[in-house]
Amino acid sequence: MADLVKAAPQGFSIAVETLNRLSQDAVSELCHEVMQFLQYKIGTVNVTKLHTKLSSIDGSLTPHMLQSAVNALTYVFRAAAKANLKSDVLSSQLKDSMSFNEGTLAAIKHSWSQQGMLLNSPDIANQLLNIGQLVDIQWKLGVSISSDSCRNLNSPYVAMTIKVADPSGQLVTRSFELSIPEFQNFSRQMKEMANVLDSV
């Protein structure tokens, strides 16, 4: 897990500093909200509401700082779920990173011991770690000849249909049209993702 802290996304250490500024109760509340989010009990963590509540205690706390703290907790809990860590192992490994203060560690350990195993259930783990699986992509090149507002359009486009299986197995189909420059950008991004996956 100390490697996890080293491999954490940009801004993680600053987010941990924000967590360390908060009281243990405030960190516990953030942990609870993040756990609710990761268990799909809420759609998003309401940072605005939390900021309103916590800014009365620490006036220098900004919504951006709070969002970063929520992102750091989300990262830690997802990584712990993926590694199937027990609460004392999670706590000791976070402590080894020397980034977290005692109050923050205690809040994270308590939240993980209370709700962490729920994230390790097979159903939640599949939802937590998989956002869906690409099943099929279909595309066709077309030319718009005219429209009700333009007689001589002659505009090329790419029509795409994407099928994705969500974590429950249900197929979701999305269709959309892209201009040629938009399609070229989409294609370039897919190639970049393929190159990153090849390097892993």
Residues 95-107 have pLDDT tens digits of: 877 788 888 888 8
Strands (E), the chain: 133-144, 155-165, 171-179
Q: Does the pLDDT value for residue 149 go beyond 50?
A: yes
What is the predicted pLDDT for the residue at 122?
Answer: 54
**What does the pLDDT average to over 119-144?**
70
If we measure between CA atoms, which residue out of 4, 173, 18 comes closest to residue 97?
4
Q: What is the dihedral of CA 132, 73, 44, 169, to 10 degrees?
A: 20
Q: pLDDT averaged over the chain?
A: 79
**Rounded CA separation 10/12 (Å):** 6
Residue 150 has pLDDT above 80, yes or no: no
Residue 200: predicted pLDDT: 59
